[in-house]
Amino acid sequence: MSPNPFGRYGVLELNIKAKNFDVNQQLRGHIERKFGDLIRHLPAITNVNVELSSQATQSQSDRMVAQVTLNVDGSLLRAEQRAANAAEAINLVAGVLDRRIERYKSRTYRSERPRQDAPLLDQQAEDDSLVTDSGATEVVSGGQLVKVKRFDMNPMTVEEAAFQMQLLGHRFFMFLNTESNEYSLLYQRDDGDLGMIQPESN
């Protein structure tokens, strides 16, 4: 964990983690400048988590991975980009987050009514890539569980969950549904609309 260089911006914490390489002072300074610019655009950011890793790839042009998560008053904005070197990956991921910050600022989902042209939520789990026959047993060859993430699930509406999923850049999002008081899984279908999986009430 690096010292907090963002005190002048009001940010509580900057975390920089690196895997398979060392972060030198020049790169650390580059990270601080890049995300300092973003924080000026959105002072509500409370902490910045930067994860860098060097991976063995066939092409040297995408061997460095940068994943950055911004905490904005409890909402998370996340992006991941690949490049030939760490500084370039940071530049790319900062550009993606800058666009997501503008999207976040332009829409306050707690006060905005759902748009009529918003994608319809398909309550039937029809996507075969997410749902399999409950009676079938499937073994994924060569796959193993390599990472477990734990996080708090704040109660939210479907509209809020859809917006949070968009900010994260994910194709799925699990949340505690305020309408049913149960956990639900929201996902993006191949046709661009949204679907939702939720447990059957007994």
Q: DSSP string of 130-192?
A: T---TT-----TT------------EE-HHHHHHHHHHHT-SEEEEEETTTTEEEEEEE-TTS
33 and 80, same domain (yes or no): yes
Mean pLDDT on 187-196: 84
119-149: pLDDT as tens digits:
333 333 333 333 333 333 333 445 677 667 7
For residue 94, give the amino acid letter.
A
Q: Quick check: 185 and 196 in contact, CB under 8 A?
A: yes
14 and 95, same domain (yes or no): yes
For residue 124, give the amino acid letter.
Q
What is the count of structural domains for the chain?
2
**Percentage, residues of the chain above pLDDT 70:** 73
Find the CATH number of the domain harbouring 38.
3.30.160.100
Record the pTM: 0.57
Categorize the per-residue pLDDT at 65 as very low, low, confident or very high, splitting at 50, 70 and 90.
very high
Among candidate residues 164, 163, 167, 197, the one with its CA nearest the CA of residue 182? 197
Find the CATH number of the domain harbouring 167.
3.30.505.50
What is the three-class DSSP state of 194? strand
In a domain, 118, yes or no: no
CA-based Rg of the chain, rounded to a whole angstrom?
19
Dihedral sign from CA coordinates of 4, 95, 63, 87: negative
In a domain, 23, yes or no: yes
73-107: pLDDT as tens digits:
777 888 999 999 999 999 999 999 988 888 777 76
CA angle 66, 67, 69 (to 5 degrees): 145
The DSSP string of 39-66 is HHH-TTEEEEEEEEEE---SSGGG-EEE
The reported pLDDT for the residue numbered 9 is: 53
pLDDT: which is higher, 126 or 27: 27
Provide the mean pLDDT of the chain: 75
Segments forming the whole domain that contains residue 67: 7-106
- Measured CA to CA, the distance from residue 38 to residue 34 in angstroms comes to 7
172, pLDDT greater than 90: no
- 189: Cβ contacts below 8 Å, ≥ 6 apart: 122, 126, 127, 195
